[in-house]
Amino acid sequence: MIRKAYHIDVDCVQVSKEGCQVCGDAFLSRKIKAEDRTVVALSDGLGSGIKANVLATLTASMAVNFTLQKQPIERTAKIIMSTLPVDKQRQISYATFTIADIETGGEARIIEFDNPPWLLFRQGKKIEMPKTELVIDWNDQRKRKMLLSQFALQLDDRIVIPSDGVTQSGIGSVNMPFGYGEEGLIEWVEKTLAEDPRISAHELARLVVKKSCTNDVYKPKDDISCAVLHFRKPRRMLICSGPPYDEAKDKVLAEMASSFQGKKVICGGTTSKVVARELNLDIDVGLDLDESGLPPASRMEGFDLVTEGILTIGKLAELLEKQTNSQITGSGPAVEILKMLMDSDVIHLVVGTKINVAHQDPSLPVELEIRRNVMRKVARLLEEKFLKEVHLQFI
């Protein structure tokens, strides 16, 4: 299969209703590498707290799993609706949902049921897409209506999927007696995109949620969620760690690093010396210590960062295990690499297999694993937790 030269950047930021420890909204995303598809679902459970979260999670899980199996959208909706009970007094479903199924070629299918409308921004402006109404008939003669959209994305399109905690934020206030509303959200997103056209999916979602919390005077009256999908050219990153097994390949490694288009990081003192020697470059050794406890980073022309090797990538693997979203805190070389990774889409890991005798000392802590094992772990975490496209190469 020929892979498309586009990437779908996905993230969702959520804040729970004031006084609730659990968010009543649920967001799930899955990437199918073999089919070049990304499926996301945002569901809003009725009410708030744990009960709402259970219902929303159940809905989002069914929505994603059935969509991944390429079940007809009507069948998926029927199963979800027949599974979820209906509130007897208000005659509304116990959960609402929006499902987006997008291929890296740009083909998009989005279905929404009782959630606020999803929004498409093209060249920084909101544009309308045709929606087809689907009516689901039930044995008790009740009918449920959903909206289905099928269209082709263009480069740098953004899809914003809010929960009603966003559109209804600020409701009852002097400035927004009927809430922020769809128009308020559209105007604010357009302004944000004009100020920063390269803004990431995470950052845009974070700012939407922050604005909604501000509307509620930092006391959210409902669970607030915002998912953002950005259809863009992939941002690439290269991490080289370890010298090649065969010294004859030192030049190959250096040329690979020199010609790479994207962010470039070298992890390892010996590795940096090999590249510097082959490319006739100088290394500006760093002396500034920080709270991370890792050796300070160095600089080399043409590279974004040069760090120590096994300790730094070991710390990076630890950070990736703990990281739950794209919001990063802390300092140090490993944190700097993590920030670059979160802002990248396609990541190339080039691992030298020359044995460092110092790392084989049995008296060293168990955390100091062989470099190639740590890099395999980093690759797995990036793929499974953060939906990154990772290419691992041993040299």
Q: What is the pLDDT of residue 145?
A: 84
Q: What is the pLDDT of residue 324?
A: 73
- CA 95 to CA 82: how far, in whole Å? 12
Helix H or strand E encompassing 137: strand 132-137
One-letter amino acid of 188: W
Domain ranges of the chain: 7-232, 236-394
Q: Is residue 160 a contact partner of residue 199, using CB atoms and an 8 Å limit?
A: no
| pLDDT < 70 positions in the chain | 1-5, 73, 85-93, 137-142, 325-327, 355-369
Helix H or strand E encompassing 41: strand 37-45
Q: Is residue 157 a contact partner of residue 121, using CB atoms and an 8 Å limit?
A: yes
- CA 73 to CA 63: how far, in whole Å? 9
Assign 244 to helix, strand or coil: coil
Q: Which CATH number fits domain 7-232: 3.40.50.2020, 3.60.40.10, 3.40.50.2300, 3.40.50.300?
A: 3.60.40.10
Q: Is residue 347 a contact partner of residue 253, using CB atoms and an 8 Å limit?
A: no
Distance, C-alpha 79 to centroid of its chain: 28
pTM (two decimals):
0.80
Q: Which of 112, 98, 100 is nearest to 38 (CA)?
A: 100
Beta-bridge mates of residue 228 = 11, 160
Q: What is the pLDDT of residue 358?
A: 57
pLDDT tens digits, 114-158:
899 999 999 999 999 999 998 876 555 567 788 999 999 999 999
Q: Which of 1, 2, 3 is nearest to 389 (CA)?
A: 3
Q: Which of 165, 181, 161, 133 is nearest to 45 (CA)?
A: 165
Tokens of 309: 């090797």
Q: What is the pLDDT of residue 3?
A: 45
pLDDT tens digits, 220-239:
999 999 999 999 988 999 99
Task: Report CA-CA distances (Å) from 117 to 97, 139, 226, 249, 279.
Answer: 11, 28, 12, 55, 54
Helix H or strand E encompassing 145: strand 143-152
